[in-house]
A and B are shown apart, each in its own frame.
Chain A
């Protein structure tokens, strides 16, 4: 899929939201085929981490290194709410020159929804639509922020199956979720383990 093998690594990463330091000294390295589960309570900084890894925000300290294209799934679909689902997806498929979109749409059970405007879709249907967008991108690195939320049991199983296939194909998946995941060879870390200790906060106050 990718000419060069995808990698994703964080080096001594620290991120803030507003004035609050969420985590620091976070380092990891994911090679081709690796899956990683980031756990943490709501507000612990999972989404902040994912946005920093995606390069959408600048981390407070540290660096992100990435090889290969990147696909992001979060609570925002990127699909025009006024357009029928088929046409909204077609825009991204066109940009990404996605092959074989028909089978993909059928697999995510979206074929019956092609004529329905995106704003009428349920939470779970929107999530599946966003997944179709991610699949169509054919990117080596997947960043999935709560991919299972809002999905029924069948769809949750389908998502895990897709991630397994992606990793077996040499892709990387980093999944932030507070739900337990079951993937072969998956590593995991809790974002709370990197939350600043009290002495760090004191240091930070001195700096300020």
Chain B
């Protein structure tokens, strides 16, 4: 049952196959492309600030898929039907988290290659950036899932979720971008730890949120 659901969720959200399309990834690369135009082609300046720009672009790209992430399936009665078949809301949300991350984390990491080339990020900085995004995107996905589930029954949910994600994602951004400035691995450990805690927490918070959404 879990695997059937994961397959279905992936088909829904994966870029190029589902209705989610490749929008977040395109958006991510577009930001990296715009930045040199905005600040001028100073290689030194770009190498210094480019990593931070990539992180901000990743954070903003994480907001884009949230609108469809949970609300649509609540409206469809999809979660209700799964519940009748004995599946716990927490399990549904754990599967949703996995599908959400798979459909935006790895594509974003891949898109970092062209983005880094555009921003003249090279060598060790590039490695730390890649590792940081790998460690940080599960956390961003977990925050996104919790927010999407909490705001699913609100009319202005989509606009609100973007606003809510930004402050909650600050720790990941601070340590992720901080690792670039100091060129150290310790901050990456912090990013991974924050992500891990969020991933462990998110299915329970989101599951409780969709249960609560039924009651009104």
Contact = CB atoms under 8 A, between A and B. Distances in A.
Interface of A: 18, 51, 54-58, 69-72, 74, 76-82, 91-92, 94-96, 133, 137
Nearest to A133: B81
Nearest to A96: B85
A77 B77 contact: yes
Contacts of B215: 57-58
Enumerate the 5 nearest inter-chain pairs by beta-carbon distance, A residue then B residue, closest first.
A76-B77, A78-B81, A78-B77, A82-B19, A78-B78
7 contacts: A18-B216, A72-B81, A76-B76, A77-B77, A78-B80, A80-B12, A95-B85
Given A70-B84, A71-B84, A72-B81, A91 B4 contact: yes
Contact of B80 (A72, A80, A94, A96): A72
A92 B216 CA distance: 27
Nearest to B75: A76
Given A18-B216, A82-B19, A91-B4, A54 B84 contact: yes
B214 A51 contact: yes
A50 to B, nearest CB: 11
Interface string B57-87: 0000000000000000001111011011100
Nearest to A78: B81
Taking chain B's interface residues, is the majority helix, strand, or loop, or is none over half, making it mixed?
helix
Interface in B116-142: none
A81 B80 contact: no
Nearest to A143: B84
Contacts of B76: 76-81
Interface in B183-216: 214-216
Interface of B: 1, 4-5, 8, 12, 18-19, 75-78, 80-81, 83-85, 214-216
Contacts of B83: 55-56
A95 B214 contact: no
B150 to A, nearest CB: 18
Nearest to B215: A57
Given A72-B80, A78-B77, 18 more contacts: A56-B80, A56-B83, A57-B214, A58-B215, A69-B84, A70-B84, A72-B81, A76-B75, A76-B80, A77-B76, A78-B80, A78-B81, A80-B8, A80-B12, A82-B18, A95-B1, A95-B85, A133-B81
Contact of B77 (A70, A74, A96): A74
Nearest to A72: B84
A71 B215 CA distance: 20
A76 B12 CA distance: 18
A79 B81 CA distance: 10
B96 to A, nearest CB: 14
A74 B84 CA distance: 13
A92 B81 contact: yes
Contact of B4 (A77, A81, A95): A95
Nearest to A17: B216
Contacts of A94: 4
Contacts of B75: 76
Contacts of B4: 91, 94-95
Contacts of A91: 4, 8
Contacts of A74: 77
A55 B211 CA distance: 11
Contacts of B216: 18
A103 B23 CA distance: 41
Nearest to B5: A95
A188 B77 CA distance: 27
A6 B161 CA distance: 43
Contacts of A72: 80-81, 84
Most buried by B among A54, A74, A95: A95
A80 B68 CA distance: 12
B1 to A, nearest CB: 6
Contacts of B85: 69, 95-96, 137
